[in-house]
Amino acid sequence: MKDKHITEILDNVSIAMLSESELNEIRAHALECMSCRDAFEAARLSAVVIKSRVEATIEPSPFFQTRVMAALREQQAVESVPAMLRLWRSAKVLVSTMAVTTAALAVVSFIQPSQTAPALDQTASAYSEYSVIMDQNTDDQMSYEQVLSTIYEDDEDAR
Partner 1 sequence: MKAYTQLGSFEGRGSLEGWLTRIATNTCLNIVRGAKRRPEFTVSDLTEDEQGWLEQQSAGDGGEPASVENSVVATDLADRLLSVLSPEDQQALLMIDGEQASIKEVAEATGWSESKVKVRAFRARRKVREAMEKLLSYKRAGSER
Stretch that binds partner 1, among 52-60, 87-95, 112-120, 130-138 (CB under 8 A): 52-60
Query: Residue 52, interface with partner 1 (CB under 8 A)?
Result: yes
Query: Residue 65, interface with partner 1 (CB under 8 A)?
Result: no
Query: Residue 107, interface with partner 1 (CB under 8 A)?
Result: no
Stretch (H or E) spanning 51: helix 34-55
Distances (CA, A) of 125 to 95, 100, 129, 131: 47, 40, 9, 8
Query: Residue 47, interface with partner 1 (CB under 8 A)?
Result: yes
Distance of alpha carbon 119 from alpha carbon 130, whole angstroms: 18
Query: Residue 28, interface with partner 1 (CB under 8 A)?
Result: no
Selection from 135, 117, 115, 119 nearest residue 127 by Cα: 135
Contact 138, 126 (CB under 8 A): yes
Query: Residue 123, interface with partner 1 (CB under 8 A)?
Result: no
Between 72 and 95, CB nearer to partner 1: 72
In whole angstroms, the minimum distance from the beta carbon of 69 to partner 1 comes to 9
Distances (CA, A) of 120 to 99, 112, 116: 33, 13, 7
* Residues that bind partner 1 in the complex, under the rule CB under 8 A: 7, 10-12, 14, 16-17, 38-39, 41-56, 68, 71-72, 75
